[in-house]
Structure 1
Amino acid sequence: MSPTQRDITSLIHHPYTPPDGFAAPQLGVFKASTVYFPTVADMRQREWKDKSAYTYGLHGTPTTYSLEERLGSLEGGAQCVLVPSGLAALATVALAVLHSGDEVLLPDNAYGPNKALAEGELRHYGITHQLYDPMSPQDLASKISPRTRLVWLEAPGSVSMEFPDLAEMVRVCQARGVLCALDNTWGAGLAFKPFDLLGDAPAPGERGSLAVDISAHALTKYPSGGGDVLMGSIITHEPGLHMTIKLCHMRLGLGVAANDAETVLRSLPSIALRYKAHDQTARALAAWWQAQPQCAQLLHPAFEGSPGHVHWRSVCERTPGTGLAAGLFSVMINARYSQAQVDAFCDHLKLFKIGYSWGGPVSLVVPYDLGAMRRGWPAHLKRGTLVRFSTGLESVDDLILDLNQALQAHLPGL
């Protein structure tokens, strides 16, 4: 017998409500576009901007509110909004605070898509940009003009891994009253706190005397940890700035899927353990590379001699031996080897997969044409072909064996 229309109605409007009091390690997943209101009066008085109520799925659910609050605590911020990717976080910040006639400054070693955003959409909107030397606070200061509204910082820089004088860069921005935003994907709220760079905040969650204004984070990396989620966050400490970003976020119609939010929530409790494991593996592999004659230069902030190592220590290692670094490093392969040889080396790796992103369980490798990515060859980098490695959670010994077999096959010793 086919169900009657009344049967279907009773399924949709079933009277059962599960009892309160269910508690488990993982939070519930709330999926919604429509949110019910008991009365018209209640609908008209609800407010979503301060998370005191729910109005529509795009504006937040218990699942996304919970993730936002936990991420804010992780980075030491006060407010957070979620976006569909790390790049969406960078773009939302730009669209929220920049207007026609404004200028944005980016480090020359910035994440490539952020540069492309400035060269494309922002330029179309009448917003100009300049690139500054990421290792020179003086160069940054010289480029700030009355039109400069936003400065992007990266610590360390994308691909070439230079760690800037982050504290001095922030001081330059503060002295000139310019917003500074940090791409904090590498630090992840663990290597250092972007809203407390000097460690002098009086209480947990309080802003320190030296802090960025905005932290953008690709949750795709360490917060997710599985290489299977695209998501980003924008974290702030100042309520007015947060509301500017939140309203732009709302007007752009940005949202994240509840199941993706659940995946990140499930991964967050282990982020510190995973970050340390990635860090330890990266340092072991970096030390191995440093001993190989094919390595012209090691680029890892925690290693002495790497560009900006002293700045990494000042921000990430206030007590000797305690500093953290992500599981990411680059190697400048000696210039005697051709790009084709380096590419063949990468192709010959078995455990390292060729792919972008990082922070997942599988180790990754990507060779880059650094010369095409910069205005000129940086003076602090030796000539050669740059290869970036992202460490996964495999055995260090197995990864070294894999590197060695590919090295012997395509990059024979000098």
Structure 2
Amino acid sequence: MAELITALIHHPYQPPSGFVAPQPGVFKASTVFFPNVAAMRQFDWKDKSAYTYGLHGTPTTYTLEERLCTLEGGAQCLLVPSGLAAIATVCLALLRNGDEVLIPDNAYGPSKALAEGELAHWGITHRYFDPMDPADLAAKLSPQTRLVWLEAAGSVTLEFPDLCEQVRLCRAAKVLCALDNTWGAGLAFRPFDLQPGQLPALAVDISIHALTKYPSGGGDVLMGSVITTDQGLHMRLKLCHMRLGLGVAANDAESVLRALPSLSLRYRQHDESTRALAHGCQQRDEFAQVLHPALPQSPGHAQWQALCGDAFGAAAGLFSVIFKPDYSQAQVDAFCDALQLFKIGYSWGGPMSLVMPYQLETMRSKWPAHLARGTLVRFSIGLESAADLQNDLLQALQQVA
């Protein structure tokens, strides 16, 4: 007769199979048991046909990966601890000493910092290209270029590039292109089929997604994904992913799985409120420019309309304003401090609206010609009443005035 503690650890009870509920089960594991030595030697962690170790996948993470592939139209998915980790994984998997990566000048700031820091230390060079000028990208593609990053819309300033032309240029040069698709969230456009019905379809090679934003939706989860359609490319990424020891927590995966069914509803609400507020800001004298892809005056509006205009809610929940030059940085900061409902914080896609002032001159190679001079403020619109948010903006502007 086994001692009590041994009996508890090796308890024979197994619950009956067949339990089905709206949410999938949450499986937490580092160690995974094999039925026998032959199975241990036969199971392959790379093809998802079995389970070998918690870091390589559980029923919970496999389920999330498959649903994210459906969302973005991909075939294979890797989960990583953040959106930035997704960008880093792609770079580390595909770039070597002597290679070059091209990055849009309006890209996500930490992505540029990664290139200027770690990638440069490892002998990987980078150059920034004008995202609104395909000819600039074409001119900078070189024999050393191995990867081109794309972003639509651009971080902070929300210009919408000619994404299809950028992909065409990369294909013509036989260079891999990776898209930060966090803004589109798989809903604004299909990254792996940018021109449906036309052959050959213009599709990115890799789509990364900061699941921290819209898929999570709660402002309480950090996670990213790397999605592909090519099995060989996926395996290059997967092997690097394994060697780096990247994994996500089961409860975080559960949170994203629980939020996915409401993704399109939330995205639409973010979009509707954002458009209303952006249109309202266009009427204000304090602003030299309002940046939002759905506004006809916003840079890249025609490209946004061509790619996303027929889709519902295809403009996400971000917009930016540029205060006229006669407003000082101190006045703009005071405006942000005066807001009651908008909280000062990074990120977006959660239920609470956010605001963040930026010093654009420190973020770009040069001041873009399509942007007015002045201090930029970005808004992330949450799920509050649009009317309440509008009133909050007005009272803060009155205090600055």
Structure 2 length as normaliser, TM-score?
Answer: 0.99
How is 1:1-80 mapped onto 2 (pairs within 5 angstroms)?
A: 6-80=3-77
**Which ranges in structure 1 are unaligned for 5 or more consecutive residues?**
203-207
Equivalent of residue 363 in structure 1, options 330, 345, 353 = 353
Equivalent of residue 83 in structure 1, options 80, 83, 86 = 80
Show the counterpart of 2:334.
344
SS in 2 for 1:44: helix
Alignment length (residue pairs)? 401
Deviation at 1:273, TM superposition (A): 0.2
Equivalent of residue 331 in structure 1, options 313, 321, 325 = 321
Deviations 1:117-148 (A, max 9, x none): 00010011110000000101100010010000
> C-alpha separation between the residues in 1 aligned to 2:198 and 2:62?
25
Deviations 1:221-253 (A, max 9, x none): 000000000000000000000000000000000
How is 1:368-407 mapped onto 2 (pairs within 5 angstroms)?
A: 368-407=358-397
SS in 1 for 2:227: strand
Show the counterpart of 2:252.
260
Task: Check if 1:180 corresponds to 2:182.
Answer: no
Show the counterpart of 2:222.
230
SS in 2 for 1:156: coil
Q: Output the amino acid matched with 2:328.
A: S
Q: Output the amino acid matched with 2:141.
A: I
Show the counterpart of 1:140.
137
SS in 2 for 1:246: helix
Show the counterpart of 1:205.
none
Show the counterpart of 1:165.
162
Task: Check if 1:244 corresponds to 2:241.
Answer: no
Q: Give me the CA root mean square deviation.
A: 1.2
Deviations 1:300-328 (A, max 9, x none): 001101000000011112x3x84611100
SS in 2 for 1:10: helix
Task: Check if 1:151 corresponds to 2:148.
Answer: yes
Deviation at 1:297, TM superposition (A): 0.5
Equivalent of residue 288 in structure 2, options 296, 301, 308 = 296
Deviation at 1:371, TM superposition (A): 0.8
Equivalent of residue 200 in structure 1, options 197, 200, 207 = 197
Q: Percent identity?
A: 72
**Which ranges in structure 2 are unaligned for 5 or more consecutive residues?**
none
Deviations 1:60-88 (A, max 9, x none): 00000000000011000000000000000
SS in 2 for 1:220: coil
Deviations 1:246-265 (A, max 9, x none): 00000000000000000000
> C-alpha separation between the residues in 1 aligned to 2:230 and 2:217?
29
Task: Check if 1:218 corresponds to 2:210.
Answer: yes
SS in 1 for 2:46: coil
Structure 1 length as normaliser, TM-score?
Answer: 0.95
Q: Output the amino acid matched with 1:142.
A: A
Deviation at 1:200, TM superposition (A): 2.3
Q: Output the amino acid matched with 1:24.
A: A
Deviation at 1:209, TM superposition (A): 1.1
Deviations 1:347-387 (A, max 9, x none): 01000000000000000000000011111110000001100
Q: Output the amino acid matched with 2:24.
A: L
Q: Output the amino acid matched with 2:269.
A: A
Show the counterpart of 2:105.
108
Given that 1:313 and 1:323 are in contact with CA atoms closer than 8 Å, whether structure 2 keeps it comes out as no
* TM-aligned CA distance change 1:201 to 1:271, over 3 Å: farther
> C-alpha separation between the residues in 2 aligned to 1:57 and 1:80?
16
Deviation at 1:295, TM superposition (A): 1.3
Given that 1:83 and 1:256 are in contact with CA atoms closer than 8 Å, whether structure 2 keeps it comes out as yes
